[in-house]
Structure 1
Amino acid sequence: MGELQDRIQRRLDTLVDTGAETGLQVAVYEDGALIVDAVAGTAAPGRPLTSGTPIFSFSTAKNVAAMLAHLLVARGFLGYDSPVTDLWPEFGAHGKATATLRHVLTHTVGLPAMPREITPRELPDWSRVCESLAAAEPCWPPGTATGYHSFTFGYLVGELARRATGRSMSELLREWITTPLGIEGQLYFGAPEEAPADFARLEQQASHWPAATADAILAPWESRPSADFGNTGTILRADIPSVGTATAHGLAAMYNAVLQGTLVDAARLTELSALAFEGTDQVFGNPARMALGFPIGRIGAPAEENSAAFGWPGGGGSYAYADPARGVAFALTKTRLVPNFDTALSVTAILADHLSGTR
């Protein structure tokens, strides 16, 4: 590792030293090589953060859930245009019989928010959540509009996975991704009983969170990512595959394996990263360009970059993406939850400067 590692490490150190952040991890692969593995700050008071310390990172875990969906297709368990009801007949209620895996991946199923009867207490109860989703009335006919499916996404993918393979998303993550890639202990949906004791502890920036702009943006029970939620043992140990716990290195290593052809072949990479749906997000109101399972474009990228990158940020400021055009896999995880992506933008700007000088 060289100059880029040093530049990003200095940036992380400055953010922690000035009190803007408390704990940060950044990992970057370029053309298959790990070129940045930087860390700064603490995992909890009196406990240093390391590059191997998992951090609950909210929707950045959707990168992992979406990748498992593609592995289900690659291994012949599902097709992108397979009706959800082929495996999950009950899901066809209230006009949802036309829904397909493609609609799930593009957030066009029409179930952006959890049914009102589901609260954080019910999230670990997989059967109850899936029964509620099957019985729910969609906000729009499947495939006709897109809107961010914050918590529902992981259960939709996960129930299809469970019915197709007989395994949970946590089991598939371990069998298909973390064990083969040698990154055990770095990516979790439901963590083992003893694991959360080694996780970082989240903290909430106290002020400047914007008011909710739509009903149940994240879930019926909250309008912003909550440190208390991400520090709760029952949540950390539950299979909730729209959110999860990860190291930056684990996320970047997964995306590097995608780019290098270890997890999917070149044809599958081209298909999963191509534009699959474009429209106005019905939850947030922003223009949305969706690949199969991921938003297209690097956050903060200038329009002229015409970014081929794809990947999810997470509430509170974490971010992971892959850029096939540049051979780059990037991830940033953090312990302080903030209502913006300023830290991720400042680090990706350093990376973009590096790439402009090497490409």
Structure 2
Amino acid sequence: MSTQSPQVRVQQWLDEWSASHDYCGIQVAAYFHGKQIINACSGMADPLTQTPVTTDTLFLAQSCSKGVASTVVHLLVQQGKLSYDDKVAKYWPEFAANGKEKITIRQVLCHTAGIPLMPDHTDMDLICDWDAMIREMEELSPIWEPGSKPGYHGLTYGWILGETAARADGRPFPRIVQEELCRPLGIENELHFGAPPEAESRIAKISGEELPIALLPDDHLMKKVLPVRVVPIRNPEWNEPLFHQAAVPAVNGLMTANALARMYASLFENGADGVRLLSPVHLEEATRLQVDRIDEIMQVKTRLALGYALGSAELADAFGGPHSFGYAGIGGMIGFADPVHSFSFAILTNRMTSARDAVAADTWFASRVRQLLELR
């Protein structure tokens, strides 16, 4: 292991990275055997005002949010409030409309429910209105037989799971997150779905490149899963209180890298500073391989557990191997747990970039930290 501490080395790397990428804002955090070993940051939270990133800066975590939303579902299953093979309509009768009566919570977690497409009239005002989006979810019809194949439920995932959780538990989804996940871990001010107004000054501004979704043919399924009228960079609302104070559980979790890494650390072995949220039995069930095939929407091979992506033995990825689980987001963001090595890791940024550069970022930082810790 290096004679320099992981914190010092990672800080050096972050400073070099942010300087070479237009001073983008970036945070990295890691836990090892339940203890925080890295909580570093660099760059600008707002390039226009030259506001620097701190470890308290909140980042829009994009699809890393899905890993948090999935964890909340697992906590409710552990509490006996939900079961994976229950039909969503058991808790939310109106959801059964238009051929959705047999869709199960397991199918939603596995992206096999067959309802990945957003309404044609989707815009930023609509996705920021929880009640309106719940009515839209009720009107959707499956585009394939539920359970028959996976296809990325880029946005619908969050409202379906969030409303199901709320119906089963009795509390709004953001409150469940705060009380069942954040409070036990001491991260109430570091993770929000629907940030309070007083947190606005801590939220990093998104900048960078136009997402390639805009270049796809109009009939491409991905363009209907993630409509151009609601994707970042194209829509300035991503940097405004309207969106920050709404709950869009699939993509707009506002969090620090520490909060994300700490959540994953809490799921295995000794937990995060002794706080373990999932029992070994429930963790095993939540992380068991469910899907290993080509995704209908993204047209790439996907390995999924219940609401988490799984690492690959064949491909060099940031997770480090098939025993790791978590979720990545556009822009080079990722959060994951590696129970074999008692290691969890998160990287968040506000600089959107090409898919290739983004993967290079999260994989590079995660692999270098693994090397520092001599994880094999």
Corresponding position: 1:230 with 2:238: yes
* Alignment equivalent of 1:329, drawn from 344, 348, 351: 344
Matched position secondary structure for 1:11: helix
Output the CA distance in 1 between the equivalents of 2:188 and 2:254.
12
Q: Deviations over 1:138-165 (max 9, x none)?
A: 1111111111111111100111011112
Matched with 1:72 is 76
User: Which structure 1 segments of 5+ residues have no match?
Assistant: none
Residues 61 and 208 of structure 1: is their aligned pair in 2 closer, same or farther, counting only changes over 3 Å? closer
Aligned residue type for 1:177 = L
1:261-340 equivalence runs, <5 A: 261=271, 262-297=276-311, 301=316, 306-340=321-355
1:133-212 equivalence runs, <5 A: 133-205=137-209, 211-212=215-216
Residues 8 and 192 of structure 1: is their aligned pair in 2 closer, same or farther, counting only changes over 3 Å? same
Cα RMSD after superposing both structures: 2.4
Matched with 2:361 is 343
Aligned residue type for 1:314 = G
Deviation at 1:127, TM superposition (A): 1.9
Question: Which segment drifts farther, 200-209 or 62-71?
Answer: 200-209
Output the CA distance in 2 between the equivalents of 1:19 and 1:254.
28
Q: Deviations over 1:189-221 (max 9, x none)?
A: 101122112211111236988833733264233
Output the CA distance in 2 between the equivalents of 1:225 and 1:113.
18
Deviation at 1:222, TM superposition (A): 4.3
Residues 279 and 229 of structure 1: is their aligned pair in 2 closer, same or farther, counting only changes over 3 Å? farther
Matched with 2:226 is 219
* Alignment equivalent of 1:84, drawn from 78, 88, 91: 88
Matched position secondary structure for 1:58: coil
CA contact (8 A) 1:225 1:315 kept: no
Output the CA distance in 2 between the equivalents of 1:114 and 1:141.
17
Residues 121 and 210 of structure 1: is their aligned pair in 2 closer, same or farther, counting only changes over 3 Å? closer
Matched position secondary structure for 1:149: coil
Matched position secondary structure for 2:70: helix
Deviation at 1:296, TM superposition (A): 0.7
Corresponding position: 1:257 with 2:257: no
User: Which structure 2 segments of 5+ residues have no match?
Assistant: none
CA contact (8 A) 2:78 2:278 kept: yes
Aligned residue type for 1:312 = Y
* Alignment equivalent of 1:26, drawn from 25, 28, 42: 28
Output the CA distance in 2 between the equivalents of 1:222 and 1:88.
28
Matched position secondary structure for 2:125: coil
TM-score by length of 1: 0.93
CA contact (8 A) 1:124 1:235 kept: yes
Aligned residue type for 2:295 = D
Output the CA distance in 2 between the equivalents of 1:107 and 1:178.
26
Matched with 1:43 is 45
Aligned residue type for 1:35 = I
Residues 98 and 208 of structure 1: is their aligned pair in 2 closer, same or farther, counting only changes over 3 Å? closer
Q: Deviations over 1:226-280 (max 9, x none)?
A: 3724212111000111121110001001111112351110111111111012221
Residues 164 and 48 of structure 1: is their aligned pair in 2 closer, same or farther, counting only changes over 3 Å? same
Deviation at 1:302, TM superposition (A): 6.1
Matched with 1:245 is 254
Residues 123 and 208 of structure 1: is their aligned pair in 2 closer, same or farther, counting only changes over 3 Å? closer
Matched position secondary structure for 1:352: helix
Output the CA distance in 2 between the equivalents of 1:206 and 1:234.
21
CA contact (8 A) 1:298 1:310 kept: no
Question: Which segment drifts farther, 290-299 or 36-45?
Answer: 290-299
Corresponding position: 1:15 with 2:17: yes
Corresponding position: 1:6 with 2:8: yes
Q: Deviations over 1:24-75 (max 9, x none)?
A: 1000111111111111112123322111111112111111100001011011
Output the CA distance in 2 between the equivalents of 1:328 and 1:248.
14
Output the CA distance in 2 between the equivalents of 1:56 and 1:218.
19
CA contact (8 A) 2:11 2:40 kept: yes
Aligned residue type for 1:345 = T
Residues 302 and 121 of structure 1: is their aligned pair in 2 closer, same or farther, counting only changes over 3 Å? closer
Residues 198 and 333 of structure 1: is their aligned pair in 2 closer, same or farther, counting only changes over 3 Å? same
Residues 264 and 230 of structure 1: is their aligned pair in 2 closer, same or farther, counting only changes over 3 Å? same
Aligned residue type for 1:331 = A
Instruction: Tell me the percent identity.
Output: 33
Deviation at 1:293, TM superposition (A): 0.3
